[in-house]
Copies of this chain bind each other. A is one copy, B any other.
């Protein structure tokens, strides 16, 4: 068992916050004891949609793409990278851990054949918008975008942007504030 306070401790929040958040999905704690770790874990996996595997295509077999492909936590949680696509002839025909790198021209075919629902976009900024549009048109429902551009896509396609420069800027901002206070 684990109490809301213990969870809050780890997550960097308060017990009340944890309880309020969890209560919005029903009540699965036991008063006086806390939350059962296994049921809680199972419930959170359900909420996050991790109880079934997701077919993922990686578009862009560059440096960040390579790091992401090697990242074991994606597969752990049911995200299956079933295809890797690139435009570089030097890369096409190669393979990463058994997954072939294919020509990005095959994007639509691959999405159809493999029932790809999520695309990880790790291509240069200039290529991101057209590729996102092609993916969306081919039936992809979600895009995790690493290119530093705001994608414009039809309603119904979920986009999540990762901008690592912003993460560093948040740090320099915080440090500047500190400096200003002294």
Bound-state CA distance A163–B61 (Å) is 20
A142 engages B47 (CB within 8 Å): no
Q: Count residues of A near B (Cβ-Cβ below 8 Å).
A: 51
Q: Is the CB of A164 within 8 A of B71?
A: yes
Q: How far is the CA of A61 from the CA of B175 in the complex (A)?
A: 25
Q: Looking at the complex, which one of B47, B50, B144 makes contact with A167 (CB distance below 8 Å)?
A: B144
Q: Please tell me if A153 contacts chain B, counting CB pairs below 8 Å.
A: no
- The stretch among A31-39, A62-70, A83-91, A103-111 that forms the contact with chain B is A62-70
Measured between beta carbons, the chain B residues less than 8 angstroms from A165 are 71, 73-74, 76-77
Number of copies: 2
- C-alpha gap A67/B62 in the complex (Å): 9
Sampled A-B contacts (28; CB under 8 Å) = A10-B150, A11-B150, A12-B150, A48-B169, A48-B172, A49-B173, A54-B175, A62-B67, A63-B67, A67-B67, A71-B164, A73-B164, A74-B165, A74-B168, A76-B165, A77-B168, A77-B169, A79-B168, A117-B175, A118-B168, A120-B168, A142-B171, A142-B174, A144-B168, A144-B171, A158-B175, A158-B178, A160-B168
Residues on A close to B: CB < 8 A? 10-12, 47-50, 54, 56, 62-64, 66-68, 70-71, 73-74, 76-79, 117-118, 120, 141-144, 148, 150, 156, 158, 160, 162, 164-165, 167-179
